[in-house]
Structure 1
Amino acid sequence: MATLALDPRLSTVTASFVNGKHSMLIDGQFVSAASGKTFPVYNPADGEVICEVPEAEAADADRAVRAARKAFDSGPWSKMTPSERSRMIWKLADLFEQHAEEFAELESLDNGKPVSVARVADVPLAVDLFRYMGGWSTKLLGNTIPLSAGLNFHAYTMREPIGVVAQIIPWNFPLLMAAWKLGPALATGCTVVLKLAEQTPLSGLRLAELIQEAGFPAGVVNILTGFGEGAGAPLAQHDLVDKVAFTGSTEVGKLIAKAATGNLKKVTLELGGKSPAIIFPDADMDVAIAGAASAVFFNQGQCCCAGSRLLAHDSVFDQVVEGVSNIAGRIRMGPGLDPATELGPLVSQEQFERVTGYIDSGTKQGAKIAAGGKRHTDRGYFVQPTVIKDVKPDMKVVEEEIFGPVVTAQSFSTDADLERLAAQANDTIYGLAASVWTRDISTAHKMARKIRAGTVWVNCHNVFDAALPFGGYKQSGWGREMGAEVLNNYTELKAVTIKL
């Protein structure tokens, strides 16, 4: 850990935070785990331990939930006006923005992603999300409803906060996912227990310090570090929790849904994907090839909506595969803190083994490696950006979410109509996202209607905005993140009828 502070690419401010004592935020206080346990956090660029953080367990989860319950039921948060909540969220966004470079460095160090990407994507999108949601605090409106029962009634609806929310976020975009979860919950007047991913807790712990600095009342936001079994499961099961919001794998999402049945708490799930990137022969090939490469290699392929199934028309298939493979071969790999790095390491040894295992599975089943396919350097969790061709629909690399910089390439026939192509694109248990690359506006609109996914991008991929709802069909989840739509996840709708 001492050598980390000497890394010239890490600012003294960030190094000082990383090397300091790390505590969880519960009921307005920074505390250790009740058991005193801690666990190590690793630098994915070299596999070295960089710090220790508290290991929350059931007792810590219970304490945090009870603090959130008190803050919601009788604390000052429940008595704040919408405009007061809005100003507090905006203050947090301003503080966040003031420390933008520190957060970019923490994300890069903790997650492995290029710091250049964190600066232009993760951090500004998180700031924008808080500001966007802060604006909604004063706009949670109801309606007056004319009743068929007659004119002697006055009926209206109102939206109220759902209550105490347990939020469990993943490691691929730790800072951005914290914003996606906290923003709408706070805007609607809920209180929160946020469990950070055990692989990437640092930016969330730094955010906890800003939450305190912004003046949020005790218990409104509680932030835990720990593992799914020890801290996540007790939150999902807790009878004083009114809702669980989870982002992560489909397998864990199913466990969350089962755990929530005890008191029938509300659940939203943003889960896995196996998203197609579909290239038609009339597309601008330079744009489509570069876009398809970015669709899967962005964030080391650790995106739930990564374009991991490349579908290209027969007439351009070879050109597309060669083009994406050439880009893969030119991508500069290295530690995230290196400003020249374009693709960093995977987040952990476990993820490294998962991704390389899928590559091995594909080659054993007869697929061919067109680019990459190997480990990069003997330190850290680096996997070369990989293009796999000669695949069949029933191969694991085609069917299952890999969550790494790996894309499978398949062609579609010249005589395939849009119905058959859409069926090929929809041949997955997931339905999170897709991209369509074409100059034909009619084809674009038709495919957007036929693809069963929560997001369809046309001539682009991985475009996000605080105003755009994001979520999936099928086993990609329940509900939506961001946009006005997310507010429904954190509110209850009450109907009031008065006889005049």
Structure 2
Amino acid sequence: MAFDVFEYAPAPESRAIVQLAPSYGLFIDGEFRESSDGKVFKTVAPASEEVLAEVAQGSAKDVDAAVRAARAAFPKWSALPGAERAKYLFRIARVLQERSRELAVLESLDNGKPIRETRDADLPQVAANFFYFAGWADKLPHAGYGPDPRPLGVAGQVIPWNFPLLMLAWKIAPALATGNTVVLKPAETTPLSALFFADICRQAELPPGVVNIVTGDGPVGAELVAHEGVDKVAFTGSTAVGKSIARTVAGTAKKLTLELGGKGANIVFDDAPIDQAVEGIVSGIYFNGGQVCCAGSRLLVQESVAEEVLDALKRRISTLRVGDPLDKNTDIGAINSAAQLARITELADAGEAEGAERWSPHCELPSSGYWFAPTVFTHVTQAHRIAREEIFGPVLSVLTFRTPDEAVAKANNTPYGLSAGVWTEKGSRILRMAQQLRAGVVWSNTFNKFDPTSPFGGYQESGYGREGGRHGLEAYLDV
């Protein structure tokens, strides 16, 4: 008996929701301004390579101006009662909700991720973080960091391109709630949502200088990290850059948190609910096109169910839709940049060259933009580069194990330690595995689930410090 195959009609979100200006300046002391030397760079849409806008390229002089503005605003901002600071954060959270549709479209345009992710995952989490930390602003003496915790001063924050608004929220919300002022450097390839957030700060009537945003390339971030007027550095990004930042900060009085790369293990035991596990595997590696630091990029499956899991996984991957990020039916959008696509391609080719077996479903990729089909590698060993190095793309490496001890040994055989997942019906096994896995977060029978109340961070080369929850306040307090 033949079954009908239902095709999805295109369901694009309108670009008209977002009004883009031809150019954007730096946001310093409550106002937009040109860079000191007048330099600009272009930000493009990864899905089409279309130029979206020109953005000011900051300089050392601009970083200095931003830090000075934050320093000048600090005394009044930190002296406000916590309940008064909370009002501003609540106001920002409400404006984010009011403008969430606009910001979701903007994020998909500038980043390349599907609209259903920005609309249903990113933006709700962004607003939730501001709501959550607003609630802490007048309760800091009860957070467990002493009866009178004090802010550090000026926070220099550098964020990546994979979750531009969410990483901004993770950093700015706790900094403001604890009484610090901020200078933020967004990623060069995704500056627009941070600049729209600057407009939200003005809409919420945040005092000038409390939040400052300096756009530009890597050297701008380096200038911010090294600036003597910065009291706290927070960075999310690659391990290589994180090590460089740690060397810069070493020997100074600056407080530092690093959230770096990962090579998360997603472990499936023979008693796991297979269909549920397959959904978790897909979410773990193909959410945001695998461009996630805590992605479950290594799948460890117990040998007795490996064939069953792989068959079900391939069937499920074959249903994923790759294409226009603004189409509400799209599951996997564009890779963020040409440089990142080249990195993914190089590592995938290395996997084949080293003897792993490569599989991708048939899918027609768009002719323009940066695209990579969802990919699975089997017959992978721990010596393969694809099992050791962070790919940061929609590429899954599959390994097998026989015993729980072997699963732990393989999962921990990595210099990283950010995330892991365990799939089994036995609660005792979940607890035992969670104790033995060297990972900052261990999900049980799920993956990639986040909440503002829960701390997130890593060990080893995945960084140190925690963001989110009560623990996320400590990084911004003198305790």
Question: TM (normalized to structure 1)?
Answer: 0.91
Equivalent residue for 2:408, pick from 402, 411, 422:
422
State which drifts further: 322-331 or 346-355.
322-331
Which secondary structure does the structure 1 equivalent of 2:371 belong to? coil
Decide whether aligned partners of structure 1 residues 412 and 144 sit closer, same or farther in structure 2, where only a CA change above 3 A counts. closer
Q: Quick check: 2:267–2:407 contact (8 Å CA) kept in 1?
A: no
Corresponding residue number in structure 2 for 1:23: 25
Counterpart of 1:47 in structure 2: which amino acid?
E
Equivalent residue for 2:291, pick from 299, 302, 327:
302
Counterpart of 1:192 in structure 2: which amino acid?
V
Corresponding residue number in structure 2 for 1:379: 368
Corresponding residue number in structure 2 for 1:269: 258
Decide whether aligned partners of structure 1 residues 78 and 374 sit closer, same or farther in structure 2, where only a CA change above 3 A counts. same
Is 1:214 aligned to 2:204, yes or no?
Answer: yes
Corresponding residue number in structure 2 for 1:113: 113
Residues in 1 aligned to 2:362 and 2:379: alpha-carbon distance in whole angstroms: 14
Aligned 1:394-473 pairs, distance under 5 A: 394-413=383-402, 416=403, 418-473=404-459
Q: CA deviation at 1:378?
A: 2.8
Q: CA deviation at 1:13?
A: 4.0
Equivalent residue for 1:293, pick from 262, 269, 282:
282
The structure whose Rg is larger is 1
Corresponding residue number in structure 1 for 2:335: 346
Aligned 1:231-242 pairs, distance under 5 A: 231-242=220-231
Question: TM (normalized to structure 2)?
Answer: 0.95
Q: CA deviation at 1:337?
A: 0.7
Is 1:140 aligned to 2:140, yes or no?
Answer: yes
Corresponding residue number in structure 2 for 1:492: 478
Corresponding residue number in structure 2 for 1:10: 14
Q: Quick check: 1:373–1:383 contact (8 Å CA) kept in 2?
A: no
Q: CA deviation at 1:116?
A: 1.3
Corresponding residue number in structure 2 for 1:365: 354
Segments of structure 1 that go 5 or more residues without pairing to the other structure are 1-6, 146-155, 494-500
Q: CA deviation at 1:375?
A: 8.4
Q: Quick check: 1:193–1:221 contact (8 Å CA) kept in 2?
A: yes
Deviation track 1:209-257 (CA, whole Å, cap 9, x = no partner) reads 010111111111001110111x100111011100100000111101111
Which secondary structure does the structure 2 equivalent of 1:475 belong to? helix
Decide whether aligned partners of structure 1 residues 95 and 123 sit closer, same or farther in structure 2, where only a CA change above 3 A counts. same
Counterpart of 1:366 in structure 2: which amino acid?
G
Residues in 2 aligned to 1:440 and 1:105: alpha-carbon distance in whole angstroms: 42
Corresponding residue number in structure 1 for 2:4: none
Equivalent residue for 1:283, pick from 267, 272, 275:
272
Q: Quick check: 1:374–1:383 contact (8 Å CA) kept in 2?
A: no
Is 1:224 aligned to 2:214, yes or no?
Answer: yes
Residues in 2 aligned to 1:216 and 1:84: alpha-carbon distance in whole angstroms: 11
Residues in 2 aligned to 1:299 and 1:325: alpha-carbon distance in whole angstroms: 19
Residues in 2 aligned to 1:305 and 1:143: alpha-carbon distance in whole angstroms: 27
Counterpart of 1:25 in structure 2: which amino acid?
F
Counterpart of 1:197 in structure 2: which amino acid?
A
Corresponding residue number in structure 2 for 1:172: 162
Residues in 2 aligned to 1:339 and 1:376: alpha-carbon distance in whole angstroms: 17
Decide whether aligned partners of structure 1 residues 373 and 362 sit closer, same or farther in structure 2, where only a CA change above 3 A counts. farther
Decide whether aligned partners of structure 1 residues 195 and 373 sit closer, same or farther in structure 2, where only a CA change above 3 A counts. farther
Give the percent of matched residue pairs that are identical in Structure 1 and Structure 2: 45
Q: Quick check: 1:142–1:159 contact (8 Å CA) kept in 2?
A: no
Corresponding residue number in structure 2 for 1:149: none
Q: CA deviation at 1:278?
A: 0.3
Residues in 1 aligned to 2:445 and 2:223: alpha-carbon distance in whole angstroms: 43
Residues in 2 aligned to 1:167 and 1:452: alpha-carbon distance in whole angstroms: 27
Counterpart of 2:153 in structure 1: which amino acid?
G
Segments of structure 2 that go 5 or more residues without pairing to the other structure are 1-10
Residues in 1 aligned to 2:143 and 2:170: alpha-carbon distance in whole angstroms: 27
Corresponding residue number in structure 1 for 2:188: 198
Corresponding residue number in structure 2 for 1:41: 43
Residues in 2 aligned to 1:8 and 1:397: alpha-carbon distance in whole angstroms: 35
Counterpart of 1:460 in structure 2: which amino acid?
T
Q: Quick check: 1:373–1:385 contact (8 Å CA) kept in 2?
A: no
Q: CA deviation at 1:167?
A: 0.3
Corresponding residue number in structure 2 for 1:101: 101
Corresponding residue number in structure 1 for 2:380: 391
Counterpart of 1:200 in structure 2: which amino acid?
T
Decide whether aligned partners of structure 1 residues 476 and 36 sit closer, same or farther in structure 2, where only a CA change above 3 A counts. same
Q: Quick check: 1:40–1:53 contact (8 Å CA) kept in 2?
A: yes
State which drifts further: 314-323 or 393-402.
314-323
Deviation track 1:321-353 (CA, whole Å, cap 9, x = no partner) reads 222222222210112111221110110000110
Residues in 1 aligned to 2:144 and 2:433: alpha-carbon distance in whole angstroms: 38
Q: Quick check: 2:178–2:473 contact (8 Å CA) kept in 1?
A: yes
Aligned 1:69-80 pairs, distance under 5 A: 69-73=71-75, 76-80=76-80
Residues in 2 aligned to 1:72 and 1:439: alpha-carbon distance in whole angstroms: 51
Residues in 2 aligned to 1:144 and 1:325: alpha-carbon distance in whole angstroms: 48
Counterpart of 2:116 in structure 1: which amino acid?
S
Decide whether aligned partners of structure 1 residues 357 and 69 sit closer, same or farther in structure 2, where only a CA change above 3 A counts. same
Q: Quick check: 2:78–2:151 contact (8 Å CA) kept in 1?
A: no
